[in-house]
Amino acid sequence: MITTSISLLEQVRQSDPAAWSRLCHLYGPIIYGWCRRAGLQPADAADVTQEVFRTLYQHIQQFQPGSFRGWLHQVVVNQVRLFFRRQGRQPRSADLTERAAQAESALSAIDEVQTRHLLIHRALGAIQGDFSARTWDIFTRLVLQGQPVHLVADEFNATPNSVRQIRFRVLKRLREQLDGLV
């Protein structure tokens, strides 16, 4: 099992390639979704997502402890604004200013709960391989499906205490995966 002794963001600051990969895996779909909700076409959303990661790479040292998602959201807003400004120089459409305003409105209304759930879902997918299929099935039934400990223990011919230990180990690993992000 992979463990982290320092937060993901600190590892990213130290230019750890594995940490950057984790950050991209966790936040890439979220950033892309924010861009799409702001009205960008798929290819443009992908380009802006790349620009957001480039900006993060250049400015991660300046991030002060606090809300990483809030800071990231502001980077996305700025990159979307920049995208629309650049589009405005090339007169493709008369309503680019209106589209930019709509995009900013959409980005400011991002559902924090939905973003948190997506982030947790991505992190669960990333750590699943750290556990056996049996352990993951027990965790899924116990935590994700909300089945009682005694029923899960009976189903897997395990003791209630061992089922609780599995829940603890997987949740501990999940917290390590999300350290400093949630």
Give per-residue pLDDT as tens, 165-179.
999 999 988 888 776
Is the model's pLDDT at 30 over the cut of 60? yes
Note the pTM of the prediction, 2 decimals.
0.60
What CATH number was assigned to the domain covering residues 123-182? 1.10.10
Confidence of residue 94 (pLDDT cuts 50, 70, 90): very low
CATH 1.10.1740.10 domain span(s) along the chain = 1-110
Q: Which long-range contacts (C-beta less than 8 Å, at least 24 apart) are formed by 41-48?
A: 44/83, 47/83, 48/76, 48/79, 48/80, 48/83
pLDDT value of residue 64: 73
Q: Residue 92 pLDDT more than 60?
A: no
Give the Cα separation of 34 and 109 in Å (integer).
10
Which fold would CATH assign to domain 1-110? Rna Polymerase Sigma Factor; Chain: A (1.10.1740)
Task: Answer whether residue 139 shows pLDDT above 50.
Answer: yes
Mean pLDDT of 47-72: 84
Residue ranges of the chain assigned to CATH 1.10.10 = 123-182
- Rounded distance between C-alpha atoms, residue 133 and residue 77, angstroms: 40
What the block records as the tokens of 35 is 């861009």
For the cut 80, the answer to whether the pLDDT of residue 42 exceeds it is: yes
Q: Is the pLDDT of residue 131 over 90?
A: yes
